[in-house]
Amino acid sequence: MEQKHKEAIRSNFSSLVERTDLDSVVTSLYEKGVFSEPMIEPYRIISLPERDRKRQLYVDILRRGPLAFGHLVDTLGELGYWDLVRDLDPDSPFSFPGQRTFNPIPKLNPPTTGNDNFHSLSRPKGDVNKNPRQSSPPPAPAPHQSSDNDNAACDVTIEPPFTVVKSTKFMEDNDTKDVRLYRTRGRNRGVLLDFTYMKFDNDIEEFRNGVDVDCNNLKYLFNELGFRVLRYLNLTMAETTETLRSLDAVLVDIESVFVVVSSHGYERAHSSDTDVRCKDGKLMRLMDIIDYFNNRNLPALIGVPKVFIFQMCRGSSRDHAWTDAAPAPPHMRMPDGVLYATDGVLYDGQPVQPAAADRRLSRGRRELPLYSDILIAHSTLPGLVAHRDGKFGSWYIQVLCKVFAERAHDCHVEKLFTLVDKRLQAEFKVQTSSVDRWGFNKRLYLHPGLYES
């Protein structure tokens, strides 16, 4: 390998280790002949930390001959890591100046247990798929991003304050029951699409302190649940729309989809809809986002559960009721000095003082509802604000991550959201979440840590 190529790998070593998926990269390099099957065995030893295995991979590739660098760049481009390609080789055809994409953080290997019913979602050692184009999900669409790395805050890995309890058995579908189960037993358990807006052009909105904690907690949670995590941070309205339009290339052969949208939100007059603020200051209706996932626009997801989680204000009212004259609980008091903050509490909107796509279905001519298998979870009620802690993240996401981690192994998703609201009120007192069902007529169990061969 040429010295300049070695230096390029060494200069980007940390990014390669932190941001690439070990399994996908190893499989592609094996296909290209960079490594033989015996040589990739050490990267499959799941008893070793994944980060250590990736570090060894990028050390070993330095010794794999003059063609190894080109094969590595091709692999990264094929897997959608265009920003890494640009950093390694600006002349590569996979390098697009001015574009940034943030790919899913690699899945964490679930801890081993003595339970024979436990199966890791990670591929077993030695199980090398000869054709990753069939088994690996396609790369995420690459939204345009600003030249400064807006994702840096969300790329810091911090040990989250919860541990995901893994399932030991599958919930069974009983034909005698009125409510059936969505099927969630395969390796492609699902995809989390995280659209988060933290900073805004020309400071039209205050920087959303604490949202980086939400990003990291959601990433860790859904990795542990067996999901592929795709994160899109600080997109303009046009970039958001472009990304949504291209998702049909990513959401293929999956069992469920979760979509998180986190930003400042505003109530729409004479409507139950909410406007969400994009990076460039433009407002986008939540209904427009949901529409990209309806049965006309994404027919491949007919029958697939689609869960939306909206973390934002839905109005400006801070109304609440007090049962006595007791002060606010300690965890509701935060440092002052932040715009739109009262008593240190942050809001994903601007509170006021309380007064008191045309695509045809490809599955034949059978009639179907436009919306089905959709569950929509809001962090707050229409007309009210959503609260956020500048250090620990938004109240709703804090509670959601803890509840899902503790109970996803034995509760279906609707019950999980009920428990989220119960704990939200127990811990923070003054915020109520809501859930809407649009043809979501089965129960969705996530079965963390289990798959069916």
Which pLDDT tens digit goes with each residue over 64-115? Answer: 998 999 999 888 888 877 778 878 887 765 444 333 333 333 333 333 333 3
Token reading at 407: 């109970």
> Higher-confidence residue: 418 or 111?
418
Is residue 153 domain-shared with residue 55, that is, in the same domain?
Answer: no
Token reading at 74: 């091709």
Q: Would residue 369 count as lying in a domain?
A: yes
Burial 102-120 (b: 16+ CB within 10 A, else e): bbbbbbbbbeeeeeeebbb
In a 10 Å sphere around its CB, with 0-12 CB exposed, 13-18 middle and 19+ buried, how is residue 87 labelled?
A: middle
- Concerning whether 313 is annotated as a catalytic residue, the answer is yes
Residue 237 backbone zone (phi > 0: left; psi -120 to 50: alpha; other: beta): alpha
Q: Would residue 60 count as lying in a domain?
A: yes
Query: Over 90: is that where the pLDDT of 453 sits?
Result: no
Collapsed DSSP state (helix, strand, coil) of residue 419: helix
Token reading at 379: 């962090």
Could you say which of 119, 264, 387, 409 is catalytic? 264
Query: Over 90: is that where the pLDDT of 360 sits?
Result: no
Is residue 176 domain-shared with residue 286, that is, in the same domain?
Answer: yes
- Concerning whether 215 is annotated as a catalytic residue, the answer is no
Could you say which of 154, 215, 278, 313 is catalytic? 313
Q: Would residue 125 count as lying in a domain?
A: no
CATH number at residue 13: 1.10.533.10
In this structure, are residues 265 and 274 in contact, taking their beta carbons and an 8 Å threshold?
Answer: yes
Nearest-angstrom CA–CA distance, 262 and 378: 10
Query: Over 80: is that where the pLDDT of 351 sits?
Result: no
CATH number at residue 363: 3.40.50.1460
E strands, 74-208, in order: 190-196
Is residue 232 domain-shared with residue 369, that is, in the same domain?
Answer: yes
**How crowded is residue 319: how many other Cβ atoms within 10 Å of its Cβ?**
13
E strands, 186-305, in order: 190-196, 227-233, 257-262, 265-267, 274-277, 283-285
Q: Would residue 123 count as lying in a domain?
A: no
Global pTM exceeds 0.75: no
Token reading at 171: 């919930």
Where is the domain boundary, 65, 100, 135? Answer: 100
Number of domains present in the structure of the chain? 2
Where is the domain boundary, 68, 100, 132? Answer: 100
In this structure, are residues 182 and 172 in contact, taking their beta carbons and an 8 Å threshold?
Answer: no
Question: What kind and span of H or E run contains 311?
Answer: strand 306-311
**DSSP codes joined into one string, 314-354:** SSSB-----SSSPPPPGGG---S--TT-BTTBEESS--B--
| Structural domain range at position 435 | 148-320+327-453
Q: Would residue 376 count as lying in a domain?
A: yes
Beta-bridge partners for 376? 308, 436
**What pLDDT sits at residue 317?**
65
CA atoms within 13 A on the CB side of 126: 1
**What pLDDT sits at residue 352?**
55
